[in-house]
Amino acid sequence: MRWGMLIDKVRCVQCYACQVSCKQAYFLPPGIFFNRVITGETGRFPMVRKHTYPLLCNHCKDAPCVDVCPTNASYKREDGIVLIDHDKCVGCKYCIMACPYQQRTSVEYSEQYPGQGYNDYEKFGMEYHPYQEGTAVKCNFCRERLDEGLEQGLVPGEDRAATPVCVNACPAKARTFGDLDDADSKVARLIREKNAQQLRPEFNTDPSVYYVID
Amino acid sequence: MHVKPWEWMVKPTPQEEWIEGKGLLSWLSFFSVALGAGMYFVATLVNYPWAMVAGYIVCLVIGGGTKVIDLGQPKRAWRMLLNYDGEGGLLDAMLLLFKSPKRFFKMFLNSGWRTSWISRGMYFIGLFAIFGLVHIILAFVANPAATSGIAALTSVTGIFAIIMAIVSVLVTVYAGLLIGYVRAIPLWGSALMPVFFIVSGFVGGAALALAGRINNAVTSAVIVQWLQVLVLVYVGVVVVYLWNAWNQSGTSKYSVRQMMKAGGLLSIVFYVGVVILGILLPVSIVIVSMVSAAATAPLLAVAIAGVIIGDLSMRFLIMKCGVYTPLITTSPY
Amino acid sequence: MAKASVESEKKPEIWEDTWIHTCCGGCYGTCGVKVHRVNGVPIAIEGEEGSTLGAEGGLCAKGVSQLQVLFDPNRRNYPMRRTNPKKGIYEEGNFERITWNEAMNEIMPRLKKIREEDPSKLVWMSSPSPNAVLRHNILMPFFAAYGPTSQMGGGAAVHCGNGAHHVTGQYFGAWDAGPDWKYCNYAMFFGASGGFGSGHAGTMNIRMAAEARERGMKMVVFDPMCNNTGDKATEWIPILPGTDGAVLISMINIILNDLDIYDAPYIKTKTNGPYLIGPDLLYVRDPETKKPMIWDTEDKVAKPFNDPSIKDFALFGDYEVNGVKCKPAFELIKEHVKSYTPEFAEEVSTVPAKTIRRIAKEFAEAAQVGSTIMIDGVELPYRPVGTAIFRGGQGHTNSLHSVYATHIIGQILGAADVPGATIALCPSRCMGDPNTGRPDVSCFADTDGMLVPGLWSTLQARTADDYVPRHGAPKVPCKRTGLQDLFTQGMSSVFHSSKDRHELWDKLGVIYKPEMLLSWATNNVHGLGNSETVAEAVAEIPYVVCWELYPTELSEGFADIVLPGTHHLEHTTSCADAYDLYFNAPIAKEDWTIHITQPVIEPQYERRFIADVIFEWAEELGFRDEYNELLNMRFDLKGKYAIKKGEKLNLTQVSDRALKCNHGDDKGMDWFKENGFIRWPKKPDEAYWRPFLDVRVPIYLHDLARWGPTIIELAESRDVHADWQQYTPFVSWFPTPVQKVPDDEYDLICYSYRTTLHTGGQTHQIPYLVEASQMNPHIYNIVINRETGKAKGFVDGDIVTIESNYGRKTTGPLVLSDCVHPKCIGIASTAGHWVKGQPIAYKQGVHFNTLMELDLEHTDPVCLSIETSAKVKVYKAGGSK
């Protein structure tokens, strides 16, 4: 079993639903993202092309962030998810350096409304989903939802409650989630059918996130 | 170098964690650790205990201290050496020696040592700290009169000297391997990075270690010889390193261009710090020393200062100009 | 902070974990959502899975981030009274807290006095978003009962809808129209972002558009910028703002005259193409029945258009009927468009003639005129081509004709409300819940056979004698400050705030002595047009009351009283009555779903729901019963569900009755609160109603011929002049004032564009959206073509000033991009707040609206859209960001 995701850039409309719903689900402070949408352009007028990439941790099979972690805080689960044990993270930021996709951040709290204190939502988040400042954070493929869902017999990628929030949130249905090792899973089939590609193959990290580019 | 939020991963994006704000401590740490260990190494070779002490302090206190302060969770620094899965902290981990010796030793074996250069570095520094302390004491107590530590190799001091020589090398080079492992940043991910760190660590270390003996008529000639070689080697390594970065990839070339671009802090640091003070000045003094014998103490001091400032500047630029290749190439960079 | 790690299982004790069904109000799309509330704190919003009014559980960022509004410390929490005696654009109110009683003690006597003296002294305005239901269902009836008040307005409608809604109402019986995503093969977009941004049925369109793209639908986007829509286009074609009509009409020319492709049977039976037109450009009418006449080519005689004995309709030929020489309208149109050559269109729009020819051919061939398709066992015409035009394309002084052109190109191919074609985006026909048959609404034909929307009433049915527009026949003197009594084809107007308002009012006899302004969630000082102009208009009103969520440029600058309103997540409304369907509903064959909104959190502090207060006001002003009657009409409450005389219900109770009336006694508000929405299948003849209803659309713009001369004569007699040539029954293109400005000094056209992250001005106060906006180069920066910018010596980050040929200025940081037409410079809309009471929005982005001139010259003389572009020059303001 290896959890993975397909992101279809043809379907994506750059609405930032993934970025914002993830921030909301994880009570992320300002400036901290698990999902980001970046946009750029190539070519010259009028043959210009815009490119939008929703980005998140690729949960690489060969993850440099796991290798470089001095405390074994970063580790890879058997099902392929790369996780961080925040009780062990010492905040050296080496993993942040080493990630070829720049998906890790050192978490710090700051007010959503600067100078106006933390509001009830932020305070709730600090208690319900607290962060240890100075440690590294990143997308965890909504590990809690996956695990709880599996316990209840749900199928991640098919049942919403067991599926990552960003996948559920996308109005264009640009994201598919499932077991990459299951050739019959929707995500595996789509990757093959659409000739989806991984980002930055030159780093040989074998990401679990694939993109339909065209 | 800072990119706007919408340019993140669309233009070459610099790393910031190890150079911006509190990240400056990481720059100082990498510099000081290598410099201090280099100092210690050279001081050991020439049996200069006070320089050993200075190197020890620079490496552990300044280098190690700044690194620990820069950590997000400094109180957990011990976890870089031990992979402890249980409840509680360091004390509980240590008590495992009595509760479960097998688990206790596994903590070391399964630590980040296996894959992480930071963890390895911590072990090297740990060895440096422990053996270094003993060695310094021995160096002061056991053989204060010898002019060369090599002569004492058969003694206990000598054994510690050999150990510390090896450990110093490891401490000097580990940060280069650490940074060189980051292929995500083309300027860093080069086999030349550990070479740079070793050479610059020793050059700077030697320069500082020998600085205390500038006024000594006997040793200043030796210093001059050392510096002639080391400075030229260092300059060669820097030039090769930058040349390699220029040609290795578009992104690393961009990094070097940023250093050299006219205007701004980076080019001041490059041209004044690296080129003038770090290369031209020491090289000039070395040439003067080769052509004539007028290598006076003040000149040597200037050369040494130049080397240190140049090394500091070069490392600053490496940290500052370390950029990630953009995912979307908006325009040629 | 708790010490539990993110990965650990230790969580605080949970005593509540529930999901609440409601609707989104982040834009006017009102997608179905559900909100996750834990321990009394709403913590997440998702789309409503299982509802078709949305994206099957997906939801855009605007919707997701609405929770932040609930916790924003900058919300208005109490009624406030101004203490700063000075009013002005950049003033701050320095408000002091008062009680609701104190506020009412100030407002109510004024309302009573004005009502007794002259209701037109009361001015009011509201915004369609969020929750259009409130304006149409609660506020409009209130003011109808109050008396003939005056109106002001914000950016909505005058920017986006006057042309678009007018034409889609006439052509589709709907508030908006767009491609039938499921079956369309070829779509053309003109300054529209439905399916790629917000808009009616926002995320539903996003979902369906994504599927269409994946299926291989070709989409050609005409836009000055490769924005959200252009980004996803098969082909982005840069075009100058305001020139879409020229390109479209030249395409119509190519299709009709070069390719000779058109759907004759459709034109004969579904348009006024066969109607005979006399030399006066009006229908030739049957003297007895007054019906427009057609020529029966088989019986060789003229007949009223709806004569059951008609065998075939002539589309060509010269005829004489009752001594009047006449021709079928279609032939006149075909002849008229010949002057719109692709070369002419290229000259005005910069779209190459070759491209225009190619696209026209592709579009016409893709229409597959004459083909059919089976859907649910019903054979339907199949025309898989669609067009869309909205804010950008219709926001010009040639608005109405541009929109007509966008839809005539489909009409001539029979591509309207059939599978694959342009269809009603908001429904034209609903045959009701199978259990009750309600709501049962449909467009219908007027006495001339022309389509009249059943669901909303911009256009009234014609009388037996004559077509009477919405506001009656044109007349002067005008009573309305918006002058719609004269400009009867217009919907919203800007003349209440334009810089020539006094001159126009004096000439047209408007007596305007405003005493009080009531504003609901409308920030006209920021959002309407040039701020100084609007501010002057507001300053003329001595007493201003603003009902809002946040401080705004309007309230801080001008309000005497501020009332704290509830957010859509804090109150209950019904989206169940028929008049809400007109704004947002599942399109095409998507199942019907009807939602409600309910609070996810009780309003905090002293925030109050508008409806509650309005109902109280109606009571206190003494017209509660009359108001109730109007609510009965609005909500279509019949029988036992009707509000009786003397009943004092709140909106939840009214909505409960409306829901039960429409869906059965067991499906009132309680049921909806529990279940969230009701869903039932849509029939093919609801989705693709065109073949089933005997209605026609005016491809010959007869209204303009009929009423134009009257309007022109009345206006000219009062020395009011406008671009009267637009009152022509032939779809045409007219240059905008922007196009008439020479290029020497003011060499660029500045326009604004929509982004997916923002709708209206309020989204800029939401931290998640602002963060995301900062990660996009085109939201908070001014965007100029790369080569144009380089030629002017600009680099990324330069702070520049944009100055219009009227001296209006705005300043901001610049980025160079290849996504912009070389002669254009773009600014993302709705940004550039300067009110300090919105600290997140403060100074984010650039204020575009102030460049827009507000006067008759910059107004479409027919539908009253305003010109949303400006001719400008740009120069460095100094500094770099």
ipTM: 0.97
Written as six digits, the tokens of C673 are 């609160």
Smallest CA–CA distance, residue B43 to chain C, in Å, is: 46
Question: How close A93 comes to chain B (CA, Å)?
Answer: 7
d(CA A20, CA C340): 47
* End-to-end Cα separation, chain B, in angstroms: 13
Residues 6+ apart with CB under 8 A from B287: none
Q: What's the CA gap between C651 and C658, in Å, rounded?
A: 10
Query: What pLDDT does residue C158 have?
Result: 78
Q: CA C566 to CA C572: how far, in whole Å?
A: 10
In this predicted structure, the answer to whether residue A69 has a pLDDT above a threshold of 70 is yes
pLDDT digits (tens, 9 = 90+) for C490-516: 888 999 999 999 999 999 999 988 999
- Cβ–Cβ under 8 Å, residues C687 and C423: yes
> Residues of B with CB below 8 A from A40's CB?
10, 326-330
721-760 of C, contacting A, C-beta below 8 A:
756-757
pLDDT in the model for residue C439: 87
Binding partners of C (≥3 Cβ pairs within 8 A): A, B
What's the pLDDT score for residue B333?
64
Interface test mutation site (partner A, options C3, C5, C6, C75, max chain A beta carbons within 10 A): C6
| Cβ pair B183:A71 closer than 8 A | no
Identify the band that residue C576 occupies on the pLDDT scale cut at 50, 70 and 90: very low
> Please, how many CA atoms are within 13 Å of residue C845, restricted to the half-sphere of its CB?
37
DSSP classification of residue B275:
I
A164-189: pLDDT as tens digits? 999 999 999 999 999 999 999 999 99
Name chain B's partners: 3 or more CB pairs within 8 A.
A, C
Residue A49 has pLDDT above 70, yes or no: yes
C160: pLDDT strictly greater than 70: yes
Burial class (CB in 10 A: 0-12, 13-18, 19+), C239: buried
Could you say which of A11, A41, A114 has the minimum Cβ distance to residue C819? Answer: A41
pLDDT at C763 over 70: yes
CB-based contact A45 C196, cutoff 8 Å? no
CA pair distance C262, C415, nearest whole angstrom = 10
Fold observed for domain A3-212: Alpha-Beta Plaits (3.30.70)
Residue C446: CB atoms within 10 Å: 18
What is the mean pLDDT of the segment spanning A139-154?
96
| Nearby residues of C624 by Cβ (< 8 Å), 6 or more positions away | C615, C618, C648
The yes-or-no verdict on residue A209 having pLDDT over 60 is yes
* pLDDT, tens digit, 9 for 90 and up, residues C596-634: 999 999 999 999 998 899 999 999 999 999 999 998 988
Give C63's contacts in chain A (Cβ within 8 Å).
17
Q: Which residues in A lie closer than 8 A to residue C1 (C-beta atoms)?
A: 109, 126-127, 130
Q: How far apart are CA C825 and CA C803, in angstroms?
A: 12
Q: Crossing angle, helix C353-366 and helix C244-253, to 10 degrees?
A: 60
* Nearest residue in A to B331, CA atom: A42
* Mutation for A interface: B122, B328, B329, most A CBs within 10 A: B328
Please give the C-alpha separations between residue C222 and each of A41, C176, C226, C243, in angstroms, as whole numbers.
18, 19, 9, 10
Task: Tokens for C640, please give them.
Answer: 């036992």
CA distance C73 to chain B (A): 26
A9 CB neighbour count, 10 Å cutoff: 17
Write down the CATH number for the domain with range B5-324.
1.20.1630.10
Count chain A–chain C contacts defined by CB atoms under 8 A: 213
Verify whether the Cβ–Cβ distance C818 to A116 is below 8 Å: no
DSSP codes of every residue in C700-748: S-HHHHHHHHHHHHHHHHTT----GGG--SS------TTTTS-TTT--E
The pLDDT of C15-43, averaged and rounded, is 91
* Across C630-653, average pLDDT: 90
CA torsion, ordered C204, C206, C211, C212, to nearest 10 deg: 110
> If you count them, how many residues does chain A have?
214
Chain B residue at shortest CA distance from A104: B17
Q: Which tokens hold the place of B100? A: 């479960």
* B8 at interface of C, judged by CB pairs closer than 8 A: yes
C-alpha distances (whole Å) from C631 to each of C127, C131, C146, C634 are 20, 17, 14, 5
Question: What is the structure's pLDDT at B218?
Answer: 59
Reported confidence tier of residue C550, pLDDT bands at 50, 70, 90: very high
Distant-in-sequence, close-in-space partners of C577: CB < 8 Å, separation ≥ 6: C133, C137, C439, C634, C635, C636, C655, C658, C662
The first and second tokens of residue A150, run together, are 């599996």
Structure tokens at B18: 């190890």
Q: Find residues 8-47 of chain A whose CB sits inside 8 Å of chain B.
A: 36, 38-42
Distance from CA of A106 to the nearest CA of C (A): 14
- Which backbone phi and psi does B5 adopt, to 5 degrees? -55, -35
Alpha helices in C569-666 (DSSP H): 578-581, 610-620, 624-635, 651-663
Q: Does C45 touch chain A (CB under 8 A)?
A: yes
Share of chain C above pLDDT 90, in %: 79
**Cβ-nearest to C72 among A109, A113, A140:** A113
In this complex, is the C-beta atom of A151 within 8 Å of any C-beta atom belonging to chain C? no
pLDDT at C410 over 90: yes
CB contact under 8 A, A71 and B79: yes
The whole-number pLDDT of residue A181 equals 96
* pLDDT at residue C114 greater than cutoff 60: yes
Disruptive mutation site among B4, B10, B73, B261 for chain C (greatest number of C CBs within 10 Å): B4
Q: Is pLDDT larger for residue C86 or for residue C756?
A: C86
Closest CB to B112 among A40, A72, A102: A72
Chains that touch A (3 or more CB pairs under 8 A): B, C
Q: How far apart are the first and last CA of chain A?
A: 28
Of C58, C230, C775, the CB nearest to A170: C58
Q: Which residues pair with C34 in a beta bridge?
A: C21, C46
Q: Do the beta carbons of residue A140 and residue A147 sit within 8 Å?
A: no
- Angle (nearest 5°) at CA A116 between A114 and A119: 105
Residue at C481: amino acid letter: T
Both tokens of C771, joined, read: 């963060």
The CA distances from residue B110 to B43, B118, C794, in Å, are 35, 14, 57
**Which DSSP state fits C130?**
S
Q: What is the pLDDT along chain B (333 residues), one digit of tens a residue?
A: 789 999 999 999 999 999 999 899 999 999 899 999 998 988 888 778 888 999 999 999 999 999 999 999 999 999 999 998 888 888 988 888 888 888 888 888 888 899 999 999 999 999 999 999 999 888 887 655 554 555 555 677 788 888 999 999 999 999 999 999 999 999 999 889 999 999 888 888 888 877 777 666 656 666 677 777 888 888 889 999 999 999 999 999 999 999 998 678 899 999 999 999 998 998 888 888 778 766 577 777 788 888 889 989 999 999 999 999 999 876 656
Where do the structural domains in chain B lie, given as residue ranges? Answer: 5-324
Diameter over CA atoms, chain A: 53
Cβ atoms within 10 Å of C465's Cβ, excluding its own? 8
Domain range list for chain A: 3-212
